[in-house]
Each structure stands twice: as structure tokens, then as C-alpha cells.
Chains A and B, each alone.
Chain A
Amino acid sequence: MEDENRLIAEETFDTLCGTLDEMNWNCDIDREKLQIATRIKSDGLPFNLRMVMDVEREFMLLYATFDFNIPVDKIAECALCLCMINDNLVDGTFDLNVTSGRLRFRMSLSFRDGLVSAESCGGFLALAVHIINEYSEKLQMAAAGQLSAAEMLRYTNDEY
């Protein structure tokens, strides 16, 4: 069963690599660890993206991390901001390590049933990048003390 899962994970990994290739993304690929790392510079802030196949749980995990951390004195305010953002999302979540201030975006795609198409991988990546671009600058502003939880609430309520 473990071997079978590994084969499916490898197949999904190849599909993902093919999708990234078609999108002309330059990636560091580690086929042994079934892991891909890349740096995204698109509409919003640049961020690091890591995608890894979880063979045991049979899903692909996407993690995005940013070039800034949340300072200790802004953790409480940013925790509120994160909760507001997450409550607005249909898929994926922003995580905050409250001891280190590390911020990340996390999303998953199951390959439990074997076949994950290139379209599915492409849609998954596009949605993740869209969500990150939507909120990363706001989170950087919150980290810098330039955006309060009250202002974030107005933003997430589409009042801007």
C-alpha cells in the first residue's frame, strides 16, 4: 500500500512539474523528497513557495512564506487580522507562529483517488497565488503597524 501511495505521489509530482514547466516557473525540484521550491514575483509581494507530496496522507501540500515576520508587539493585532482573512476564504489558510512571528499560507490538494490532472494542478496553484496576492501586502502593512485590525475588518468586508 505504501509503495502504491508512493507511485501515485510520484505521478502527481510529475504532473505538477509538467504544469509548472508549462507556466515557465523556474523551480528547484527534489524528486527524492517529492518537493518543489520556487520564488514567485507576481502582482503582489514576492514570496517563497514550497510544494511537497505527503505520501502517507495522500495529498499535495503548498506552503508560501514571506520576506517579513510579524514583530512580537504586533502578534496580537495580526492574529486578529489573520482570523478575519481566514474567515473570508473558501480554501487555504494563513498560519502564524506566535512565538517566532513566522507567517505562511497553506493549502492542500488530495490525490487519494490517484488522478490529479494538469488542469487541477494549474487551478490549485492559480487559486493559491491569487489569495496570497490579495492579502500579503495588507499583512505586511499590519506587521509594520500601518493597518489596524479595524481597518482589516473593513477591507475583508469589501468596504474599501
Chain B
Amino acid sequence: MENTNLIAAKKAFETFCAMLDEREWHYQKDEEKLTVDAVARGDDLPINLRVVVDPKCQLVLLYSPLDFTIPEEQIAETAIVLCIINDNLIDGNFDIDITTGRLCYRMSMSYRESLLSAEAYAYFIAYAIEVVDAYNDKLLMAAKGMLSPEELLGNTEDE
């Protein structure tokens, strides 16, 4: 079973890398750990992408760690900001490690009993970039104490 899972994981990894190659992405891959690291250009801030194929959970996991951390004094307020953002998302979510202030967007796709296509992976990446690009500047403002939950609530209601 473990071997079957690994074969499926490697197939998912190959399809994912082929999709990136086809779109002429520059990226680093680790075929042992089944990870891919890349940077996308957002409208304002660069977007880091780490994709991990997890044979045990049969998931393709996408993590987009943000380039900045939340200072300790802004953690409590940012936690509320994250709740407001996440509650408005259809897929994926922003995580914060409240002990370090590290922020990361996370999304997953299951390949259990199925072979995901390059098109599905392309959508997966495009959606993640769109979401991170929409909110990374707001989170940077929250990190600097320049955006309160009340202000963000006003913005999201407008949208």
C-alpha cells in the first residue's frame, strides 16, 4: 500500500512539474522529498510558493509563506484580521504561527484514487496566487499596525 501511495505521489509530482515546465516557470524541485519551490510575481509583493506532494495523505499541498512576520504586539489583532479574510475565502486559508508571527497561505488538492491533470494543477496555482496577491498587502499593513479589523471589515463589506 505504501509503495502504491508513493508511485501515485511521484506521478502527481511529475504531472505538476510538467505543468510548470510547459508554462516556462523557473523553480527548484526536490525529487526525493517531492517538493517544488518557486516565486511568482504579484501586483505588489513577490509570492513564494512551496508545493509538497504528501504520499501518506494523498494530497498536493500548497504553502505560500509571506515574506514578513507579524510582530508580537500585532498578533492578537492580526488573528482577528485573519478570521475576517479566511471567512471570505472559498478555498484555502491563511495560517499564522502565533508564537513566531509567521504567516502562510495553505491550500490542498486530493489525488486519492484519481490522476489530477496539468490543467487542475494550473488552476490550483493560479487560484492561490490570486488569493495571496489580493491579501498580502493588507496583511503587511496589519503587521505594521496600519489596518485594524474594523477597517478590514469595512473593506470586505464594500467588496
Chain A residues within 8 Å of B, Cβ to Cβ: 54, 57, 59, 61, 75-76, 79-80, 82-84, 86-87, 90-91, 93, 95-99, 106, 108-110, 112-113, 115-117, 119-120, 123-124, 149, 153
Contact = CB atoms under 8 A, between A and B. Distances in A.
A120 B117 CA distance: 16
Label chain B's interface by main secondary structure: mixed
B76 A112 contact: no
A112 B98 contact: no
Nearest to A149: B98
A27 B26 CA distance: 47
B75 to A, nearest CB: 8
Contact of A113 (B54, B93, B115): B115
Contacts of B84: 98
B57 A93 contact: no
A83 B79 contact: yes
B37 interface: no
Which of A61, A83, A149 has the most chain B CB atoms inside 10 A of its CB?
A: A83
Contact of B149 (A98, A116, A123): A98
Interface in B82-124: 82-84, 86-87, 90-93, 95-99, 106, 108-110, 112-117, 119-120, 123-124
A123 to B, nearest CB: 5
B110 A109 contact: yes
Given A91-B57, A99-B153, A115-B114, A80 B98 contact: yes
Given A61-B90, A93-B86, A112-B117, 7 more contacts: A80-B76, A95-B83, A95-B93, A98-B153, A108-B90, A110-B124, A112-B123
B112 A87 contact: no
B79 A79 contact: yes
Contacts of B106: 93
A123 B90 CA distance: 21
B14 to A, nearest CB: 15
A57 B89 CA distance: 13
Interface string B118-159: 011001100000000000000000000000010001000000
B45 interface: no
